[in-house]
Amino acid sequence: MLGLGLDGYHPDGHHDAAVAFSVQVAPDEQYIAQHQHRKGQLILALHGAITCEVENARWMVPPQFAVWIPGGMPHSNRATPQAQLCFLFIEPGAALMPDHCCSLKISPLVRELILALAQRPGNARQTPQTQRLTQVLFDELPQQAEQQLQLPVSAHPKIRLMVETMEAEPAQWQTLSQWASRFAMSERNLARLVVKETGLNFRRWRHQLQLILALQMLVRGLAVQQVALALGYDSTTAFITMFRKGLGQTPGRYLASLTTSQ
């Protein structure tokens, strides 16, 4: 089952070098359980956001970004209500794409190439015009910049609960001591568990989640001050410092780069 508006289409039944579909997510198709494809899959968020989970990592992709999932990699998808997404399936070896799951910042040219391909009817996939469009897309795709929008996770129930709770109430769950008390554990033992399961210490892991949530909020139109408050920061300056350390730019400059690329 492919889901997210593409029921009945099986990408591995087609051998076109690239096949694209643009969909709006129906309310009953927001979550698609774990599955995999022989083809590589790029999921581009046009409006709304998509969360893709693979083994030991969760990828949260806001608008104008995409998540790349290599062929054969089991994954599950969750989209925000009424999200508009574009799925691009790529035949193995057809493009020089990463061999690992990653998030990509999509340029205006690549976005338009994918959308143009999605608008081509099935009987036009083998025409010279479509093949030339596809080749330009394959030339440009490997140039898209990778973004650190992944959150290391695991199947451990405590890690799962921490992620889900901090996503829903980021301002309420700030400290390791809070969680240690919740789990009736010592802070030292919980700290060791987080490192063992995620590869990051608690502070870095929480900051990575905050960074992803912040970007989603900012793209939705919230002001920097609102985002800082929603994430539990005492000052906007402290939030901006965290954001700049994570993405190399202040929130304002990062948003401006997204605006100019649309």
Chosen domain end from 132, 147, 162? 147
Chosen domain end from 91, 114, 147? 147
Structural domains of the chain, count: 2
| Domain containing residue 98: CATH number | 2.60.120.280
Residue 33 lies in a domain: yes
C-alpha dist (Å) from residue 54 to 64, 215, 235, 253: 21, 21, 34, 31
Rounded to whole angstroms, how far apart are CA atoms 211 and 168? 14
What three-state secondary structure class fits 196?
Answer: helix
Helices (H), the chain: 108-118, 128-140, 157-168, 176-183, 187-198, 202-219, 224-230, 236-247, 251-260
Q: pTM surpassing 0.85? A: no
pLDDT tens per residue across all 262 residues of the chain: 344 444 445 555 566 788 888 888 777 667 788 888 899 999 998 887 788 888 888 887 877 789 999 998 999 888 877 788 899 999 998 889 998 889 898 999 999 999 999 988 776 677 888 889 999 999 999 999 888 788 888 889 999 999 989 988 988 887 899 999 999 999 999 999 999 999 999 999 999 999 888 887 887 788 999 999 999 999 999 999 999 988 888 998 887 776 554 4
Domain that holds residue 68: 11-147
